[in-house]
Amino acid sequence: MRKSDLCVADVYAPYVIRGFRDDPPFAANEFQHNAWFVANLFLKDRPKSRFVKDFPLAWDNVLYESQSLGYVTATHQKGIDYGPTVLTYYYPMCEDPAGRTTLFNYDWKQLADVCLTDLARAHPDIYELTQRIDIMRWGHAMISPRPNFIWSGIRQKAEKPFRNIHFAHTDLSGIALFEEAFYHGLRAAVEILGHGR
């Protein structure tokens, strides 16, 4: 490691930093995450919308009254509104208290079915357009906001560097928002540059 370095997420600190577990400066297991699966659907053409006519796909799309986070159009930055595309779909297991176990018990076919059934409500032609689905199961996705965590003092302890390793991630805010990522990234960079806060 260089003189000062960034570590991405606090929850991994005990597993990736030598000596951390011998005398932990903060309780990494207090940073709790939901499990989810992420599916990449390879489509031979753009899906039609059941509700909106003649309107191109947005980058980020949320399905009304769905438990999923919806999907992003992974080819959006190409600026093309027709032809083959890849949709990246996110499904958190937060409704189920044993969500992580359920997730790891589901096989590819069951997860693909969850994903296609959900998407078909907005895009009835999704079955005939989808040529391939790659699914990843994430045991620890984004941090879960929970009562009494934000002001518990745990986050504040975890903001402090461990030796020359500085922490920067939305995890440190207890909620997964872009603004928090920017804040912690800048904070840690300023600390490393030695300017203080």
What phi, psi does 120 have (nearest 5°)? -65, -20
Identify which of 177, 183, 174 has the alpha carbon closest to the alpha carbon of residue 148: 174
Closest distance between ligand FAD and the C-beta of residue 190, in Å?
16
Q: What is the spatial distance between Cα 26 and Cα 60, in angstroms, rounded to a whole number? A: 36
Residue of the chain from 42, 90, 138, 183 that contacts ligand FAD (CB under 6 A): 90
Q: What is the spatial distance between Cα 169 and Cα 176, in angstroms, rounded to a whole number? A: 9
Closest distance between ligand FAD and the C-beta of residue 47, in Å?
18
Site residues (CB under 6 A) for ligand FAD, limited to 1-30: 8
User: Between residues 34 and 130, which has the closer beta carbon with respect to ligand FAD?
Assistant: 34
Closest distance between ligand FAD and the C-beta of residue 102, in Å?
20
Residue of the chain from 178, 193, 196, 197 that contacts ligand FAD (CB under 6 A): 178
Residue of the chain from 100, 169, 188, 191 that contacts ligand FAD (CB under 6 A): 169
The two tokens of residue 130 are 């989808």
Q: Answer yes or no whether residue 150 interacts with ligand FAD by CB under 6 A.
A: no
Q: Which stretch binds ligand FAD (CB under 6 A): 94-102, 107-115, 116-124, 173-181?
A: 173-181
CA 170 from centre of chain = 11
Q: 81 by DSSP, 3-state: which?
A: coil
Q: What angle do CA 165, 152, 142 make, to 5 degrees?
A: 60
CB burial of residue 185 (10 Å; 0-12, 13-18, 19+): middle
Q: Answer yes or no whether residue 177 interacts with ligand FAD by CB under 6 A.
A: yes
User: Between residues 42 and 90, which has the closer beta carbon with respect to ligand FAD?
Assistant: 90
What phi, psi does 54 have (nearest 5°)? 55, 40
User: Between residues 130 and 173, which has the closer beta carbon with respect to ligand FAD?
Assistant: 173
Q: Answer yes or no whether residue 86 interacts with ligand FAD by CB under 6 A.
A: no
Residue of the chain from 176, 183, 189, 192 that contacts ligand FAD (CB under 6 A): 176
Amino acid at 133: I
Count other Cβ atoms within 10 Å, centred on residue 104.
13
Contact residues for ligand FAD (CB under 6 A)? Answer: 8, 69, 72, 90, 142, 169-170, 176-178, 181
